């Protein structure tokens, strides 16, 4: 839209998922499909899967026929399959954007008939045809591209002290159970040992975390349900503790601060662990396994922030893996497909 303001963009999402709320809030139109994923355990909901898929395919063909797109981009969500299948059947150019270091099943299937595959990690030829791959990175919000000079503003905004080390804990907008339990376990130790923690608990856990922190009466534990001003949060942080979802990892590589990744084990193909390991093997981040994290947050924080050389090398190495112009690269490929 920045490059072609007269363009018309239509999003297609999965009914009941977060995108159905977030996309309209960003000012764009979205259409929902009833598609859902297969459960990996025995579940009655799996019996509904074929019917939801057929209904979604029928609706996707209708959307493509009515909207008449010149190019269709899939990012691997539930809705990508039916929409890209419909577009490919109508000989409309398609581009697949794989956000993770381990390709999802939907993208692996769709990539066979896609014209281009934009990836966020090197060495993705094990999943996709090499001649179609473009190493683009993942698009990230523009306000984090330049954090220089924002630290003082960040401290004031969050009510933080400039003489204390700041730990930023992020579990996503809904929250991460392990990160929250880990903080409950160690928050007194963080507070007593001179750290301040900016802690995003997420929507699901906020009330319980708030009750616990208020009872503990800790001066330097700053709890938030959700942080909107992420550029300021990153600017304030000396160290970041985070899940390893694709977009989180991409953002943190641009931030250039030391990171402790705690990958979620509850994701397809354990892709968050694979995302994190792509950084760990380059000495660009530290990883804690989910099952080992509770009781280890403070100890691991001490290990990193107590070693100035480690802080420096982690920050420098993670920045080397950043792809700040991912959105522009993907748009370049879309333009070529439309031309």
Q: For residue range 86-98, list pLDDT tens digits in order.
A: 999 999 999 999 9
Q: Estimate the share of the chain in helix, then strand, then coil, as percent rounded to the nearest 5.
A: 45, 15, 40
Does some domain include residue 5?
Answer: no
318 is in an annotated binding site: no
CATH number, domain with residue 86 = 3.40.50.2000
Give 46's pLDDT tier (boundaries 50, 70, 90). Answer: low
Amino acid 96: pLDDT: 98
Asked if 27 and 128 sit in the same domain, the reply is yes
Asked if 178 and 265 sit in the same domain, the reply is yes
Does some domain include residue 229?
Answer: yes
146 is in an annotated binding site: no
Which helix (H) or strand (E) segment is 196 a member of? strand 195-200
Give 43's pLDDT tier (boundaries 50, 70, 90). Answer: low
> Can you tell me the distance from the alpha carbon of 107 to that of 76, in angstroms, rounded to the nearest whole number?
5
Does some domain include residue 107?
Answer: yes
Does some domain include residue 1?
Answer: no
Asked if 16 and 40 sit in the same domain, the reply is yes
Asked if 86 and 185 sit in the same domain, the reply is no
Asked if 123 and 149 sit in the same domain, the reply is no
Nearest to 178 by CA among 303, 295, 40: 295
Asked if 104 and 176 sit in the same domain, the reply is no
Check if the beta carbon of residue 168 is closer than 8 Å to that of residue 138: no
Amino acid 78: pLDDT: 84
3-state SS assignment for residue 242: strand
173 is in an annotated binding site: yes
43 is in an annotated binding site: no
> Can you tell me the distance from the alpha carbon of 221 to that of 160, in angstroms, rounded to the nearest whole number?
10
292 is in an annotated binding site: no
Domain that holds residue 229: 143-320
Token look-up 């100035």 returns: 308
Amino acid 45: pLDDT: 64
Nearest to 282 by CA among 104, 84, 122, 48: 122
CB burial of residue 199 (10 Å; 0-12, 13-18, 19+): buried
247 is in an annotated binding site: yes
Does some domain include residue 68?
Answer: yes
Amino acid 265: pLDDT: 92
Asked if 133 and 151 sit in the same domain, the reply is no
88 is in an annotated binding site: no
Asked if 177 and 289 sit in the same domain, the reply is yes
Asked if 217 and 309 sit in the same domain, the reply is yes
Asked if 110 and 248 sit in the same domain, the reply is no
Least confident residue range of 41-55, 128-142, 276-290, 313-327: 41-55
Check if the beta carbon of residue 121 is closer than 8 Å to that of residue 101: yes
Asked if 23 and 43 sit in the same domain, the reply is yes
Q: How many domains does the chain have?
A: 2
Q: What mean pLDDT comes out for the span 255-284?
A: 94
249 is in an annotated binding site: yes
Does some domain include residue 4?
Answer: no
Asked if 126 and 165 sit in the same domain, the reply is no
> Can you tell me the distance from the alpha carbon of 182 to that of 67, in angstroms, rounded to the nearest whole number?
48
């Amino acid at each position: 839209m920045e490059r072609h303001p007269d363009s018309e963009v239509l999003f297609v999402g999965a009914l009941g998922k977060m995108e159905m709320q977030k996309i309209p809030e960003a000012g764009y139109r979205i259409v929902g499909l009833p598609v859902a994923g297969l459960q990996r355990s025995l579940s009655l909901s799996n019996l509904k899967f074929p019917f939801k898929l057929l209904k979604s395919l029928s609706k996707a063909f209708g959307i493509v026929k009515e909207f008449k797109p010149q190019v269709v981009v899939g990012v691997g969500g539930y809705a990508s399959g039916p929409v890209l299948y419909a577009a490919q059947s109508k000989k409309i150019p398609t581009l697949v954007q794989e956000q993770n270091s381990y390709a999802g099943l939907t993208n692996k299937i769709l990539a066979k008939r896609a014209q281009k595959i934009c990836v966020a990690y090197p060495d993705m030829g094990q999943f996709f045809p090499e001649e179609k791959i473009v190493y683009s990175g993942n698009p990230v919000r523009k306000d984090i591209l330049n954090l220089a000079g924002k630290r003082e503003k960040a401290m004031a905004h969050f009510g933080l002290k400039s003489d204390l080390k700041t730990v930023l804990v992020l579990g996503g907008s809904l929250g991460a159970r392990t990160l929250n339990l880990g903080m409950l376990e160690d928050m007194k130790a963080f507070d007593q040992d001179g750290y301040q923690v900016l802690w995003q608990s997420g929507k699901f856990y906020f009330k319980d975390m708030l009750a616990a922190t208020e009872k503990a009466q800790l001066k330097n534990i700053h709890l938030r349900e959700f942080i909107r001003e992420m550029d300021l949060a990153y600017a304030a942080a000396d160290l970041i503790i985070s899940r390893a979802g694709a977009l989180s990892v991409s953002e943190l590589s641009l931030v250039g601060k030391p990171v402790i990744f705690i990958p979620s084990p509850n994701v397809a193909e354990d892709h968050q662990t694979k995302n994190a390991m792509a950084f760990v093997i380059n000495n660009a981040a530290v990883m804690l396994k989910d099952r080992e994290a509770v009781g280890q947050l403070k100890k691991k924080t001490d290990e990193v922030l107590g070693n100035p050389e480690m802080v420096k090398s982690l920050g420098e190495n993670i920045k080397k893996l950043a792809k700040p112009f991912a959105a522009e690269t993907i748009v370049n490929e879309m333009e070529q497909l439309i031309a």
